[in-house]
């Protein structure tokens, strides 16, 4: 014990005498372990955590999707009903809307707020198997169309808004102005998965306008003993029957796309599907950073053990056994590992909240993401393993060489070849990894810049968007919706600074109605098309070009001739080679509409989506059923173009905009009031986030490489001083010595660059998959977004070479300014 | 065979070298006069700290004198800048070190070629020719691809001699060339130097071993930074004031 304490004291004293080495080694370890620990904590709370439901391994999602798509539980209403009736592998099946929808909640305090409601079948919550905290879940009767309106609250909403009223069950709350009876409260574990505030009955019916679309999700619990594979096999056998029974499914398949099929996945995979590839890619980047830190540590420890050779040789000569020397080296490694790990934990603790808040990817928090005991144990284990593997082993190699050699003078100048090879290999490996990280960062940055440069089709400067949810019985009619929109538009126009106002259901770069549409006289051409509903002046307000014909006007009313505008893409597809003006189009089950205008293409739901045929219809000419549907599914957006001065978003304006809405209907809260640019920025948030993150990792990797290269060359200059003296004695000029050291650094970098470039090319498909999954693009679109690999590799190469020259310059200058007589005396 | 300033390859006059360490002045050379004729084989000896290595460094243009004159091949070289000294060193001087100083990760061929690579305008073929001729002269042409670690001490020193010869220098400066060798290999190296001298090489060798010094045509003795005659050296060495090691009184007793 005394010996160990003595080793510890000696180690601390030694580290204190080499503060440069100690700080560099500890910081290198701390940053590597900090990044790894933060990522492990995130992966543990999302990908590795089980769903917070009883026997969650039995839960699956059933998706009607194309093969090769990520796990999903998308389903049409009719196929959902079919599964309820025919699937045998499950003990229960639940159907829900495709996502929680924004609703207007009021508890009578006079201040409405937006909440998120998921419409679920009576079997949905029982399938999850979580018992209600208060009351119960929906009965089959409550889920039938026309049943009395009921609602189940989340524990969070119950506590946050209703002060955890223990008598809430049986009382009424108001959603979209309509009363709903509370029948239960579900524990908070349910909301952690998708952020739902309330659950409402789905009332699935064949008369539902979205019944034939993939507007639903299906979950199920496997029967005891049944497996995912068995369930998949059963549903695979049912697929052909489904399509025979429901031929309309083809409507939801883009031309040329693979056919839809029923797939079964574990529900956990579906919940984390969106985040999965992103987290795996980030984990790989973090592991690369950790590996770089380890390689750097190996270089540092090797160099340090070489400087300690005389001490090691002396101790050995004085009788220290190999075991004693091993213990001494081990003590130093463990001290570094422990301090580095503790600091790394601190970094992780600070970085995690930043990472979570900055991430544009929805990360389902299945378990709290925090630095807890298992995470701390992971950090310390990683630290110790890394240090022992990458720090102690190279040091032991030097130790073995040292005790194998005598205390006498060497007869050759310079390092031994094997030791040089080890040091050089470490640097080459670091440069390889750093190049891969740098080129990945450059590739993602390129993607972000490409995406940002895609024209949206609107003019964002001085354009603002005010979104509201018009839901419930009050807004199930066109006249009431039209009345609300008209009055709010008038009030918004009165706000100082507002130049133009119009309204749309289905804002560009947002969500809107996917419908069917096409030329009225060619029913065979009717296929997937986007429908948008607008008020007069919409195109002028958002800045979209009217290419031909005219705009809608106040003269286009419910009783006047049905009219529409179509985009350029639709015109070329439906009326090739001729003007579409005066032609007739159909959208959904609507009557034929005369085309009065041709509009420039606009990206409908995202910047990277391919342009779709789009039909614009006046609000006044939407039938009640369609109005109820679009109001139920999508937010209504008022677009405001302001005069070109001042900051429009000061608190007074925000209050005035809010007042313009609530004055017309106090039960309708403002869901969002933001510049149009925000929608566009949100669309590129994922590539921006990843390019920043990859840039950060690449910067760290570059820094580590700089430190490593600087350390190696400094060490080489120190250990080759006598060789340099010999070279000078033989007539080498200072510039020749300078270029020799520089060339050494650049050569190592160049070799690493070659390997790194090969690795970067291999990584391209992984990055493409990451971009595709986060941005939602198809393969061809992703390829054009990523741009040329040569550009990213060139950027990485240039950065590495500049860094290599910078890192080599100081040791090279030191070598060139050596005095030959002193250099020849060096040991 | 003392050479005059006009016909000598090397002529130094009143050469001084002072080292400054903190506030201490150390006079390593205190007015050395020396001439070495072309084709002469000179041995320099003296006790430790007498200034042999300092003088050899200045002769080899590795260091500059504090004062005095140094003419090499008729040209004043005492106050040249580093670049000019490097160039002249490369062309005029061949070094042979006590510890051989071959570069461990270069082959025998590459080690011998090294001084030629610092010369501009020499083709690879010409370099190869010179390297092979040098190696043949020291009987090491069969080991061109070997690394120094694969050679014996005697062989390494022969390669070092070949390296010194490769550039066809005006003079070979050998600093204790047998210091790291056993007597058999030491004798072999001395024989090699003797052969080179007979072929016309000018050699200036530092040695403290009288057996090896005897191989030279002329011996120069250094004491306290000055060239002294052999008789004077023996007298000085016998004087306990100059050479405490010969004192019969223990240092602590004198204190």
Dihedral sign of CA atoms B202, B204, B210, B212 in order:
negative
pLDDT for A58? 92
pLDDT for A412? 56
Interface check A414 vs B, CB under 8 A = yes
Q: Which one is predicted more confidently, A126 or A774?
A: A126
pLDDT for A646? 60
At B23-74, the pLDDT tens digits run 788 889 999 999 999 999 999 988 888 888 899 999 999 999 999 999 999 9
Residue A421 has pLDDT above 80, yes or no: no
Residue of chain A with shortest Cα separation from B92: A731
Q: In this structure, are strands A593-599 and A563-567 parallel, antiparallel, or unpaired?
A: parallel
Q: Which one is predicted more confidently, A311 or A471?
A: A471
**For testing contact with chain B, the best of A404, A409, A410, A412 (most B CBs within 10 A):** A412
Beta bridge partners of A60: A220, A266
At B126-143, the pLDDT tens digits run 999 999 999 998 999 999
Q: Residue A466 — very low, low, confident or very high, per pLDDT cuts 50/70/90?
A: very high
d(CA A293, CA A796): 19
Give the closest residue to A83 by CA, choosing from A236, A252, A227.
A236
pLDDT for B250? 34
Work out the minimum CA distance from A726 to partner chain B, whole angstroms: 7
Residue of chain B with shortest Cα separation from A415: B104
What mean pLDDT is predicted for residues A547-559?
92
How far CA A515 is from CA of A141, A572, A614, in Å, comes to: 31, 19, 9
Would you call A282 exposed, middle or buried from its count of C-beta atoms within 10 A (0-12, 13-18, 19+)? buried
Q: Which of A411, A420, A733 sits opposite B99 (nearest CB)?
A: A411
Work out the minimum CA distance from A819 to partner chain B, whole angstroms: 8
Contact B105 A727 (CB under 8 A): no
Residue A205 has pLDDT above 90, yes or no: no
Kindly report the CA angle at A322 between A321 and A327, in degrees rounded to 5? 100
At A220-267, the pLDDT tens digits run 999 988 899 999 888 888 888 887 887 766 665 666 666 778 889 998
Contact A728 B86 (CB under 8 A): yes
For chain A, what is the mean pLDDT? 84
Q: Which one is predicted more confidently, A817 or A427?
A: A817
Can you tell me which residue has the tokens 């004291």? A9
Token pair of A155, please? Answer: 């524990």
Q: Name every chain B residue with its beta carbon within 8 A of the beta carbon of A723.
A: 101, 103-104
pLDDT for B44? 92
pLDDT for B146? 93
At A56-99, the pLDDT tens digits run 899 999 988 877 778 888 888 888 888 888 888 999 999 999 88
Q: Residue A751 — very low, low, confident or very high, per pLDDT cuts 50/70/90?
A: very high
Least confident of A324-333, A539-548, B3-12: B3-12
Q: Residue A208 — very low, low, confident or very high, per pLDDT cuts 50/70/90?
A: confident
Residue A402 has pLDDT above 70, yes or no: no
Least confident of A67-76, A460-469, B201-210: A67-76
d(CA A17, CA A21): 9
Q: Which one is predicted more confidently, A162 or A274?
A: A162
Residue of chain A with shortest Cα separation from B57: A821
pLDDT for B240? 59
SS3 string, A426-446, reads: HHHHHHHHHHHHHHHHHHHHH
At A778-792, the pLDDT tens digits run 656 666 666 677 888
How far CA A396 is from CA of A314, A315, A332, A362, A569, in Å, comes to: 16, 15, 12, 47, 69
Dihedral sign of CA atoms A804, A807, A812, A815 in order:
negative
d(CA A766, CA A281): 8
Residue of chain A with shortest Cα separation from B113: A730
Classify residue B111 as left (phi > 0), alpha (psi -120 to 50) or beta.
alpha
At A659-677, the pLDDT tens digits run 999 889 888 889 889 999 8
DSSP per-residue codes, A614-642 = EEEEEGGG--HHHHHHHHHHS-EEEEEEE
Least confident of A146-155, A411-420, A750-759: A411-420
What mean pLDDT is predicted for residues A171-190?
89
Count of beta carbons in the 10 Å neighbourhood of residue A430: 31
pLDDT for A719? 75
pLDDT for A641? 92
Q: Which one is predicted more confidently, A176 or A533?
A: A533
pLDDT for B7? 67
Q: What is the ipTM of this complex?
A: 0.82
Residue A400 has pLDDT above 80, yes or no: no
Work out the minimum CA distance from A818 to partner chain B, whole angstroms: 11
Q: Residue B182 — very low, low, confident or very high, per pLDDT cuts 50/70/90?
A: confident
Which of A421-430, A578-587, A791-800 shows the highest mean pLDDT? Answer: A578-587
Q: Name every chain A residue with its beta carbon within 8 A of the beta carbon of B167.
A: 730-731
Contact B163 A730 (CB under 8 A): yes
A112, A669 contact by CB (below 8 A): yes
pLDDT for A509? 84
Contact B153 A411 (CB under 8 A): yes
Least confident of A13-17, A138-142, A317-321, B88-92: A317-321
What mean pLDDT is predicted for residues B89-98?
91
What mean pLDDT is predicted for residues A746-766?
89
Q: Which of B87, B99, B180 sits opposite A731 (nearest CB)?
A: B87
Contact B97 A726 (CB under 8 A): yes
Contact A412 B115 (CB under 8 A): no
Instruction: At B33, give phi and psi (nearest 5°).
Output: -115, 130
SS3 of residue A647 by DSSP: coil
Q: Residue A414 — very low, low, confident or very high, per pLDDT cuts 50/70/90?
A: low
How far CA A455 is from CA of A444, A677, A684, in Å, comes to: 19, 12, 13
Q: Which of B60, B82, B99 sits opposite A734 (nearest CB)?
A: B82
Work out the minimum CA distance from B89 to partner chain A, whole angstroms: 5
Q: Residue B239 — very low, low, confident or very high, per pLDDT cuts 50/70/90?
A: low
Tell me A730's DSSP state: T
Chain B residues whose C-beta sits inside 8 Å of any chain A C-beta: 57, 60, 62-63, 82-83, 86-87, 89-91, 95, 97, 99-105, 114-115, 118-119, 147-149, 153, 156, 163, 167, 180
Q: Name every chain A residue with its beta carbon within 8 A of the beta carbon of B122.
A: none
SS3 of residue B189 by DSSP: helix
How many Cβ contacts (< 8 angstroms) between chains A and B? 87
Instruction: At A640, give phi and psi (nearest 5°).
Output: -120, 120
Residue A32 has pLDDT above 60, yes or no: yes
Contact B163 A723 (CB under 8 A): no
Q: Name every chain A residue with its beta carbon within 8 A of the beta carbon of B103.
A: 412-414, 723, 726-727
What mean pLDDT is predicted for residues A272-299?
80
Q: Which of A412, A417, A729 sits opposite B89 (nearest CB)?
A: A729
Q: List b or e across A209-239, with b for residues whose CB sees 16 or more CB atoms inside 10 angstroms.
A: bbbbbbbbbbbbbbeeebebeebbebbeebb
What mean pLDDT is predicted for residues A753-764?
89
Q: Which one is predicted more confidently, A636 or A7?
A: A636
Instruction: At B107, give phi and psi (nearest 5°).
Output: -75, 170
Interface check A413 vs B, CB under 8 A = yes
Count of beta carbons in the 10 Å neighbourhood of residue A308: 21
Interface check A723 vs B, CB under 8 A = yes
d(CA A665, CA B14): 109
pLDDT for A165? 92
Least confident of A106-110, A572-576, A652-656: A106-110
Interface check A722 vs B, CB under 8 A = yes
Residue A109 has pLDDT above 80, yes or no: no
Interface check A726 vs B, CB under 8 A = yes
Residue A636 has pLDDT above 80, yes or no: yes
What mean pLDDT is predicted for residues A358-376?
70
Q: In this structure, are strands A527-534 and A498-505 parallel, antiparallel, or unpaired?
A: antiparallel
Kindly report the CA angle at A203 between A197 and A205, in degrees rounded to 5? 140
Can you tell me which residue has the tokens 């391994």? A57
Cα atoms found within 13 Å of the Cα of residue B40, Cβ hemisphere only:
21
Beta bridge partners of A184: A135, A152
d(CA B17, CA B26): 8
Q: Which of A409, A415, A819 sits opposite B99 (nearest CB)?
A: A409
Work out the minimum CA distance from B58 to partner chain A, whole angstroms: 10
d(CA A102, CA A633): 9
pLDDT for A207? 81
Q: Residue A406 — very low, low, confident or very high, per pLDDT cuts 50/70/90?
A: very low
Residue A410 has pLDDT above 50, yes or no: no
> What is the percent of chain A with per-residue pLDDT over 70, rounded to a whole number?
90
Q: Name every chain A residue with its beta carbon within 8 A of the beta carbon of B119.
A: 731
């Amino acid at each position: 014990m005394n010996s160990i304490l003595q080793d510890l004291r000696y180690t601390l004293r030694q580290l204190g005498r080499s503060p440069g080495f100690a700080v560099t080694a500890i910081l290198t370890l701390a940053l590597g372990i900090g990044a790894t620990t933060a990522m492990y904590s995130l992966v543990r709370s999302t990908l590795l955590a089980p769903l917070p439901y009883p026997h969650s391994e039995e839960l699956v999602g059933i998706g009607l999707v194309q093969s090769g798509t990520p796990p999903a539980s998308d389903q049409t209403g009719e196929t959902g009903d079919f599964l309820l009736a025919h699937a045998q592998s499950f003990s229960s099946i639940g159907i829900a809307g495709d996502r929680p929808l924004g609703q207007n909640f009021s508890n009578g305090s006079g201040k409405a707020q937006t909440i998120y409601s998921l419409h679920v079948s009576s079997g949905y919550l029982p399938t999850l198997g979580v018992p209600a905290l208060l009351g119960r879940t929906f009965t089959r009767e409550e889920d039938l169309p026309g049943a009395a309106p009921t609602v189940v609250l989340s524990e969070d909403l119950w506590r946050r808004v209703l002060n955890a009223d223990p008598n809430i069950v049986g009382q009424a709350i108001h959603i979209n102005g309509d009363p709903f009876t509370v029948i239960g409260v579900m524990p908070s574990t349910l909301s952690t998965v998708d952020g739902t505030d309330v659950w409402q009955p789905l009332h699935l019916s064949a008369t539902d306008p979205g019944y034939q679309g993939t507007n639903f999700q299906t979950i199920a619990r496997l029967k005891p003993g049944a497996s995912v594979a068995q369930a998949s096999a059963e549903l695979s056998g049912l697929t052909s029957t489904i399509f025979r029974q429901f031929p309309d499914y083809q409507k939801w398949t883009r031309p040329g796309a693979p056919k839809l099929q029923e797939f079964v996945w574990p529900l956990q995979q579906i919940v984390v599907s969106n985040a999965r590839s992103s987290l795996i890619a980030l984990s790989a980047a973090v592991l690369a950073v950790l590996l770089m830190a380890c390689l750097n540590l190996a270089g540092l420890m090797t160099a340090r053990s070489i400087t300690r050779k005389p001490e090691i040789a002396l101790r050995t000569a004085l009788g220290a056994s190999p075991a004693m020397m091993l213990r001494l080296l081990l003590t130093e490694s463990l001290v570094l590992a422990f301090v580095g790990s503790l600091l790394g934990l601190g970094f992780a603790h600070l970085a995690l909240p930043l990472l979570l808040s900055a991430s544009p990817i929805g990360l389902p928090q299945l378990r709290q993401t925090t630095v807890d005991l298992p995470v701390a144990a992971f950090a310390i284990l990683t630290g110790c393993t890394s240090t022992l593997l990458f720090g102690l082993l190279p040091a032991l190699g030097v130790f073995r060489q040292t005790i194998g050699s005598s205390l006498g003078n060497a007869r050759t100048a310079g390092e031994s070849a094997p030791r040089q090879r080890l040091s050089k290999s470490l640097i080459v490996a670091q440069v390889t990894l750093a190049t891969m990280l740098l080129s990945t960062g450059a590739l993602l940055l390129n993607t972000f810049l490409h995406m940002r440069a895609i024209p949206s089709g609107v003019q964002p400067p001085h354009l603002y968007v005010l979104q509201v949810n018009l839901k419930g019985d009050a807004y199930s009619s066109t006249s009431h919706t039209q009345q609300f929109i008209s009055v709010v538009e008038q009030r918004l126009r009165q706000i100082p600074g507002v130049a133009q106002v119009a309204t749309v259901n289905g804002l560009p770069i947002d969500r809107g109605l996917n419908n069917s549409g096409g030329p009225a006289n060619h029913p065979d051409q009717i296929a997937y098309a986007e429908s948008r509903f607008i008020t007069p002046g919409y195109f002028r307000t958002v800045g979209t070009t009217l290419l031909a014909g005219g705009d809608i006007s106040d003269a286009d009313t419910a009783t006047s001739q049905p009219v529409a505008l179509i985009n350029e893409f639709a015109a070329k597809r439906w009326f090739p080679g001729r003007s579409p003006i005066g032609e007739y189009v159909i959208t959904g089950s609507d009557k034929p509409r005369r085309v009065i205008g041709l509009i420039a293409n606009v990206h409908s739901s995202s910047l990277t989506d391919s342009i779709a045929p789009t039909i614009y219809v006046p609000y006044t000419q939407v039938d009640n059923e369609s109005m109820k549907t679009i109001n139920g599914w999508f937010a209504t957006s008022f677009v405001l173009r302001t005069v070109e001065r001042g900051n429009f978003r000061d608190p007074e304006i925000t209050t005035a905009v809010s007042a313009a809405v609530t004055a017309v209907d106090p039960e309708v809260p403002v869901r969002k009031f933001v510049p149009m640019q925000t929608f566009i920025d949100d669309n590129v948030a994922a590539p921006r986030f990843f390019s920043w993150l990859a840039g950060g990792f690449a910067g760290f990797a570059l820094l580590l490489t700089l430190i490593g290269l600087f350390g190696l060359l400094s060490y080489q200059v120190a250990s080759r001083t006598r060789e340099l003296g010999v070279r000078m004695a033989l007539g080498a000029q200072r510039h020749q010595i300078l270029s020799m050291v520089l060339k050494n650094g650049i050569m190592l970098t160049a070799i690493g660059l070659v390997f790194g470039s090969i690795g970067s090319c291999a990584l391209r498909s992984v990055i493409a998959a990451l971009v595709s999954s986060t941005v939602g693009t198809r393969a061809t679109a992703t390829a054009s977004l990523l741009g040329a690999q040569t550009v990213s590799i060139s950027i990485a190469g240039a950065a590495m070479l500049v860094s290599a020259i910078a890192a080599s310059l100081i040791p090279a200058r030191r070598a060139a300014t050596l005095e030959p007589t002193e250099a020849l005396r060096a040991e | 065979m003392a050479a005059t300033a006009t016909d000598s390859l090397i002529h130094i006059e009143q050469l001084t070298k002072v080292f400054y360490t903190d506030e201490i002045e150390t006079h390593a050379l205190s007015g050395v006069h020396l001439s070495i004729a072309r084709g002469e084989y000179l041995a320099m000896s003296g006790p430790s700290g007498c200034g042999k290595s300092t003088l050899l460094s200045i002769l080899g243009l590795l260091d500059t004198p504090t004062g005095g004159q140094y003419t090499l091949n008729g040209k004043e070289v005492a106050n040249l800048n580093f670049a000019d000294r490097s160039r002249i060193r490369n062309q005029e001087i061949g070094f042979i070190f006590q510890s051989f100083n071959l570069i461990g990760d270069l082959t025998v061929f590459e080690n011998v070629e090294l001084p030629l690579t610092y010369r501009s305008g020499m083709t690879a073929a010409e370099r190869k020719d010179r390297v092979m001729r040098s190696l043949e002269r020291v009987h090491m042409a069969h080991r061109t691809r070997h690394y120094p670690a694969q050679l014996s001490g005697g062989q390494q020193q022969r390669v070092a001699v070949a390296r010194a010869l490769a550039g066809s220098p005006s003079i070979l400066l050998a600093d204790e060339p047998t210091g790291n060798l056993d007597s058999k290999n030491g004798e072999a190296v001395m024989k090699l130097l003797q052969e080179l001298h007979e072929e016309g090489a000018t050699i200036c060798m530092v040695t403290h071993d009288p057996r090896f010094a005897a191989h030279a045509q002329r011996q120069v003795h250094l004491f306290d930074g000055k060239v002294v005659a052999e008789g004077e050296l023996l007298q000085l060495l016998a004087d306990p004031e100059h050479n405490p090691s010969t004192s019969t009184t223990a240092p602590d007793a004198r204190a």
